[in-house]
Each structure stands twice: as C-alpha cells, then as structure tokens.
Amino acid sequence: MRKFLSMILTLSFATISNAYDQYIGYWQLENSRNIMEIYKNNEGTYLINKSVEMSIAAPDVESKHYKLEKMDNNVLGVEDTLTTIPLILSHNGSTLRIKNQKLFKISKKSAKPIIENTVACFNLRIEYLEKIGDLQISTFLKNIKGNNEKKIEDIKAKYIKLQNKVPDCNIYPEFY
C-alpha cells in the first residue's frame, strides 16, 4: 500500500512539474515574423525571450528575457507593472495566448530560417542607413545636391536588390 501511495504521489508531482514544460519552445506571433522563446534555465526558472531575432541582432539593446511566474492551474504568467499576465496554453499545446495576442508553437527547425532572415534584414537596414545617412549629411552640409543625389539613388537601388534576396525583408528605402 505504501509503495502504491508513494508511486501515486511521485507521478502527481511529475505531472505538475511537467505541465509547465509544455510552454518550452519557440512561439511565433500570429501574422508576424516575431519569434518568442520560452525556456527553463539551470535553476529550473522559466524565462521568456520576447524577441529572439533582435536579441541576436542587437543584444545590448534588445535582449529582454523575462522571468515567468508559476500561477494556479499549471499556468505560467509574466509580471506586468501591477499584475501577472497569464500565458494561456491551448489543450493541445499548439497555441498560446498573451492578452489579445495569439502565438503558434513552431519547431526549432522552422524558427531558425525566420530568425536568420530577420537578423540579416536588420543588419542590412543598419548598413543601408549608415551609407545613405553619410551621403545625405554630406549633401546637406556642402549644399551640392546634384553631386550626391545620383549616389543616393544608386545606393537605394543596390539595397532594394539586396533586400529582395532576404525573404520578407523591407529596409524601407523609400523613406530615406
């Protein structure tokens, strides 16, 4: 009887701890390329990285890992200023809701090219802004419109071609 009781208690504790593990993985925001990751660190704390691709592209600026709290009914939540926002997991574990946002669980294999393309696009945009910015400042300071406008248009054309090589990339050259 004792063995049976201890086995039931062990299984129930394992079920409770594993329920939170269903959250672990990559999550893609509905109608977006944004990828979030929920993971468990060595101390057993659950964390969420709200933008995997930006934490790679700009780690000093965009690295945001938030601690998740264990709430009632095997639900994880993220702390907001005054409250803890629950992360509602669907019964089959494929959909996650955070307030009015809906995310879909994706595999690491599916997440990898999205993350790589987003990082490549971000870096391309930074490179473009640096090149175009230098020419625009030079044109403004020297007041030599005709001399740099051709160079600016050539750079825009070059970077439009480069952005077309990266899936779902838009560096917004029309604004500069």
Does residue 9 fall inside a structural domain?
no
Domain presence at residue 63:
yes
102 domain-assigned:
yes
* Domain's final residue, options 57, 72, 106: 106
What would the pLDDT profile of 91-124 be if each residue is shown by its tens digit? 999 999 999 999 999 999 999 999 999 999 999 9
Same domain, residue pair 101 and 148:
no
Higher pLDDT, 55 or 86: 86
Q: Tell me whether residue 54 is in a domain.
A: yes
End-of-domain residue from the set 106, 126, 149: 106
Cβ burial of 117 (10 Å; 0-12, 13-18, 19+) is: middle
| DSSP 8-state code for residue 94 | S
Distance CA(29)–CA(117), nearest Å, equals 16
pLDDT in tens, 70-82: 998 899 998 888 8
**Residues 126, 82 share a domain:** no
Within-domain flag for 7 = no
Q: Count Cα atoms within 13 angstroms, Cβ side, for 70.
A: 12
Task: Identify whether residues 93 and 123 lie together within a single domain.
Answer: no
Place of tokens 């809906």: 102
Which of 58, 86, 106 lies at the terminal end of a domain, its last residue?
A: 106
141 shares a domain with 89: no
pLDDT of residue 166: 94
**Counted domains in the chain:** 2
Q: Which residue range(s) make up the domain with 50?
A: 21-106
In sequence order, which residues have a C-beta less than 8 Å from that of residue 121 and are 6 or more positions away?
163, 166, 168, 169, 170, 171
| Res 165 pLDDT > 80 | yes
And the tokens for 49? Answer: 């990285």
User: Whole-model pTM?
Assistant: 0.74
**15 in a structural domain:** no
What are the tokens at 9? 């208690």
- 96 assigned to some structural domain: yes
The H-assigned helical ranges of the chain are 2-21, 52-57, 59-62, 108-142, 145-164
136: its two tokens? 């625009």
122 shares a domain with 101: no
Q: Are residues 59 and 82 in the same domain?
A: yes
Same domain, 88 and 66: yes
CATH classification at residue 95: 2.40.128
Cα–Cα distance, 100 to 87 (Å, whole number): 11
**What are 13-52's pLDDT values in tens digits?**
444 457 899 999 999 999 988 899 999 999 999 998 888 8
25 domain residue, yes or no: yes
